[in-house]
């Protein structure tokens, strides 16, 4: 697999390679998903998160200035990316219907995975989606599942959404719900912070993993060094540096969330 070139991976992910442009970009506009922490989130002025941090760092090493901006919801970001108003979304799911306007850089910058948590003292054991049918679950309101699980949940499951990312685990700990669903990177931290390791346990069930890629608009008047970007991203992942950036970003997001909550009007 490693003998396949990055350009072949790009061809597989984009359907076709972007047209060759002679001039290398000197400056690009980067905007990401506004509510996908710690990978990407926004504060109505800029895009934050590990994906933005990693991509910005790599591009600046290539001598490319990054303008970090905020354009609102995910659909609006995608629309502006397809138009070329935004040049880079640092973390976007692969979408085949956008291949005429967008190409994706390999490898995935992040793979979103989920954990299902129950109380240790309850009888419910969840190893399959069907085991959740007669139970009541909880998940953060910003959670994004795969299309397959989202449809299954809409048809068969009762999952309430909470605004506070830690509220669901508290609801589970006192028996108000039967299970809680969290992105893996968030859930582990919250269980630890709430000192619930001895009271809660993970269930061996796969919900919906999906990859997020650095997405590039094809409507650019300049070119990006995609081979170098791919190589440097791979090196950061293999060295463990990318994991550290994602963990650091999680704590930054928690700080941002607490500050936002404390400054919000009652």
Question: Of all residues in the chain, what percent carry a pLDDT higher than 70?
Answer: 88
Structural fold of domain 6-111+211-263: D-Maltodextrin-Binding Protein; domain 2 (3.40.190)
Most confident of 84-88, 91-95, 204-208, 255-259: 84-88
Cα separation values, 117 from 127, 136, 197, Å: 11, 12, 11
Coil, strand or helix: which one is 29? Answer: strand
Q: What is the model's pLDDT at position 22?
A: 59
Q: What is the pLDDT of residues 50-101, one digit of tens each?
A: 999 999 999 999 999 999 999 988 899 999 999 999 999 999 989 889 999 9
Cis previous bond, 107, omega within 30? yes
| Mean pLDDT to the nearest integer, 7-18 | 48
CB neighbour list of residue 219: distance below 8 Å, 6 or more residues apart: 82, 83, 84, 101
DSSP state of 129: G
Residue 191 — pLDDT band, cuts 50, 70, 90?
confident
Structure tokens at 24: 């290398």
Q: What is the pLDDT of residues 26-43, one digit of tens each?
A: 999 999 999 888 999 898
C-alpha 203/C-alpha 200 separation (Å) is 10
Coil, strand or helix: which one is 36? Answer: strand
C-alpha 28/C-alpha 59 separation (Å) is 9
Fold matches, 6-111+211-263 and 114-202: yes
CB neighbour list of residue 121: distance below 8 Å, 6 or more residues apart: 199
Domain range list for the chain: 6-111+211-263, 114-202
What angle, 0 to 180 degrees and rounded to 10, lies between the N-to-C axes of helices 241-263 and 50-61?
130
Whole-model pTM: value is 0.79
Structural fold of domain 114-202: D-Maltodextrin-Binding Protein; domain 2 (3.40.190)
Q: What is the pLDDT of residues 124-136, one digit of tens each?
A: 889 999 999 999 9
Residue 168 clears pLDDT 60, i.e. is over it? yes
Start-to-end C-alpha separation, the chain: 55
Q: What is the pLDDT of residues 94-117, one digit of tens each?
A: 988 999 999 999 999 999 888 899
Cis previous bond, 201, omega within 30? no
CB neighbour list of residue 153: distance below 8 Å, 6 or more residues apart: 145, 159
Residue 8 — pLDDT band, cuts 50, 70, 90?
very low
Structure tokens at 69: 């901006």
Structure tokens at 50: 């590990």
Nearest CA among 181, 144, 148 for reference residue 165: 181
Q: What is the pLDDT of residues 146-167, one digit of tens each?
A: 888 999 999 999 999 987 767 8
């Amino acid at each position: 697999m490693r003998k396949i070139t990055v350009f072949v991976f790009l061809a597989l992910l984009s359907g076709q390679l972007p047209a060759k442009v002679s001039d290398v970009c000197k400056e690009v506009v980067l905007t990401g998903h506004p509510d996908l922490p710690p990978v990407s989130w926004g504060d109505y002025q800029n895009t934050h998160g590990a994906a933005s941090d990693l991509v910005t760092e790599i591009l600046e090493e290539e001598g490319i200035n990054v303008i970090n901006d905020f354009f609102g919801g995910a659909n609006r970001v995608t629309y502006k990316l397809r138009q070329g108003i935004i040049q880079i979304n640092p973390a976007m799911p692969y979408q085949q219907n956008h291949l005429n306007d967008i190409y994706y850089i390999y490898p995935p910058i992040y793979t979103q995975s989920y954990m299902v948590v129950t109380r240790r003292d309850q009888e419910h054991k969840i190893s399959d989606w069907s085991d959740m049918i007669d139970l009541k679950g909880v998940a953060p309101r910003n959670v994004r599942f795969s299309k397959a699980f989202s449809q299954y949940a809409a048809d068969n499951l009762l999952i309430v959404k909470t605004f506070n990312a830690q509220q669901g685990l508290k609801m589970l700990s006192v028996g108000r719900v039967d299970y809680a669903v969290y992105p893996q990177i968030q859930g582990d931290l919250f269980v630890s912070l709430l000192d619930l390791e001895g009271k809660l346990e993970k269930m061996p069930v796969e919900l919906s993993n999906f990859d997020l890629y650095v997405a590039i608009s094809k409507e650019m008047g300049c070119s990006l060094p995609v081979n170098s970007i791919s190589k440097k991203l791979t090196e950061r992942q293999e060295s463990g540096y990318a994991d550290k950036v994602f963990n650091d970003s999680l704590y930054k997001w928690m700080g941002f969330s607490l500050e936002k909550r404390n400054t919000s009007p009652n």
